[in-house]
Amino acid sequence: MKAIHISSILERLCIQNVSGTSPSITSFSPVDGKAIATVPITTRVDYEALVGKAGVAFSQWKQVPAPKRGEIVRQIGDALRLHKQDLGRLVSYEMGKSLQEGLGEVQEMIDICDFAVGLSRQLYGLTTQSERPAHRMFEQWLPLGIVGIISAFNFPVAVWSWNAAIAWVCGNVCLWKPSEKTPITALACQKIVSEIFNRNDLPQEISCLIQGDAELGKQMASDPRIPLLSATGSTRMGKSVAQAVAARLGRTILELGGNNAIIITPHADTKTALLASVFGAVGTAGQRCTTTRRLIIHESIYESFKVQLVDAYKQLKIGNPLDEANHVGPLIDEAAVNSYLEAIKRCKQEGGKFIVEGGVLKGDGYPSPCYVKPCIAEVEPHYKIVQQETFAPILYVMKYKDLEEAIAIQNNVPQGLSSAIMTLNLREAEHFLSVNGSDCGIANVNIGTSGAEIGGAFGGEKETGGGRESGSDAWKAYMRRQTNTINYSDKLPLAQGITFNL
């Protein structure tokens, strides 16, 4: 993609390059290594002022009826529709994912806005029966206040929207710290949203954007004015955030590492299994938390499926992600490339045999040092490198004898985000979904590990963090529950039959 096209997109999205500002962040595209734009870093003074304004905005926003808040979110969804093409291209260029995935990410924002609009009329409470006569007991859900959001580079805008759209209709205001690797897409979204709030005579601080590194995230985690902090990233980061927030008895939603597996049984539709495996492993260049990192294949079909897998990898096209003919774009930066190379080295040291070799791609068509080859290694499940998440297109394949062994292999990792089984056998499918099956937050049948719909609650178990975002009843995490009892009699009966007379 030519620089002039990016300049045009930035202009249409009202992104102005900041020069001579210190401190600042310059975003470089992994597609071609070129600078996209520079944005100022949020200083401590700026942060304090913004949090104060967010608190004031909350006092006004929470008074707006929930369906009216939903109407504002509907307008945000419509604005995102208008800017979908520009935003999708910017996501692709700044992060490095394919154009189709970039457009899909913007569509996720639109979809969660639609979901939140409906939700704004369904923030249900519960009426329960009181044991005391002439009493009514019920519960209601009330806004929390400022919801902090720390998002990762791999989904630079979608995961923010999962949190923000739901938090807004629940009556909260949001304070968003995007990854310092993808600040421009965040700024574009903030400008779109701010315009909607301004148009409706509402405080722009209902949506706040702060830019900075991990230190700014630590500041948010320690801030008692932020009752809920939703953080997406590595398990290491999540543990740090959890400790800081717990120390002040705050709440967290943590969506952390994944080490996702697909079990392929003798009863699988191999065509479906192959497509799911390849897309799951190489989509977003292996930089999804739901990326397929392990294939657990029955020994009776192992060799034949392996041949198909290797042949499919030969057909992959790697290059500029804005070229729709390419399947795989670059990794986010050179640090990610080094992690990829180190993982390959460690896998070989442990005895892994690469049936599709990896490596860094150079020469024509690869204008930055961030393009790598998706690779496949035959391994044993107990290898230490297999137990870890490497954010890169490295796929580990292994054999199993029976379904119990396959499920044990799948579950025997520290992470617990997404999982899948490929089978047309009803008993196998049901067993995989049973109490003795997958221990992950997401378990799919004849669908890969990657790609979740916004209607379902998203998140995982174990070192994935245990939080839930997006659909279902995940909205409850963004509100506080209050139990109410009303006595409409002229007496004061006590619970549990206790008497107290004066």
One-letter amino acid for residue 89 of the chain: R
Condensed to tens digits (0 to 9), the pLDDT of residues 406-416 reads 999 999 999 99
| Residue 439 within a domain | yes
- Confidence at residue 451, expressed as pLDDT on a 0 to 100 scale: 82
Q: Which domain holds residue 350?
A: 260-457
| Residue 248 within a domain | yes
Give the pair of three-digit tokens for residue 285: 């260049």
Neighbours of 370 (CB within 10 A): 26
Q: At what angle do helices 235-247 and 214-221 cross, to 10 degrees?
A: 30
Residue 486 reports pLDDT greater than 80:
yes
Do both 191 and 226 map to the same domain?
yes
Per the structure, the count of domains in the chain is: 2
Condensed to tens digits (0 to 9), the pLDDT of residues 148-178 reads 999 999 999 999 999 999 999 999 999 999 9
- Confidence at residue 4, expressed as pLDDT on a 0 to 100 scale: 46
Strand segments (E) across 132-199: 135-143, 146-150, 173-177
- Contact 444/282 with Cβ under 8 angstroms? no
| Residue 151 within a domain | yes
Name the band, by pLDDT with cuts 50, 70 and 90, for residue 20.
low
Q: Stretch 222-228: mean pLDDT, rounded? A: 98
Residue 3 reports pLDDT greater than 60:
no
Do both 184 and 307 map to the same domain?
no
- List residues with catalytic annotation: 255
The pTM of this model reads: 0.96
| Residue 487 within a domain | no
Do both 128 and 141 map to the same domain?
yes
Which CATH number is 318's domain given?
Answer: 3.40.309.10
One-letter amino acid for residue 494 of the chain: L
- Confidence at residue 502, expressed as pLDDT on a 0 to 100 scale: 84
Name the band, by pLDDT with cuts 50, 70 and 90, for residue 58.
very high
Do both 277 and 242 map to the same domain?
no
| Residue 411 within a domain | yes
Name the band, by pLDDT with cuts 50, 70 and 90, for residue 209.
very high
| Residue 143 within a domain | yes
Do both 152 and 74 map to the same domain?
yes
- Contact 178/186 with Cβ under 8 angstroms? yes
Do both 81 and 186 map to the same domain?
yes
Do both 54 and 151 map to the same domain?
yes
Task: Please state, rounded to an integer, the average pLDDT across all residues of the chain.
Answer: 96
Name the band, by pLDDT with cuts 50, 70 and 90, for residue 247.
very high
Residue 307 reports pLDDT greater than 50:
yes
Do both 148 and 277 map to the same domain?
no
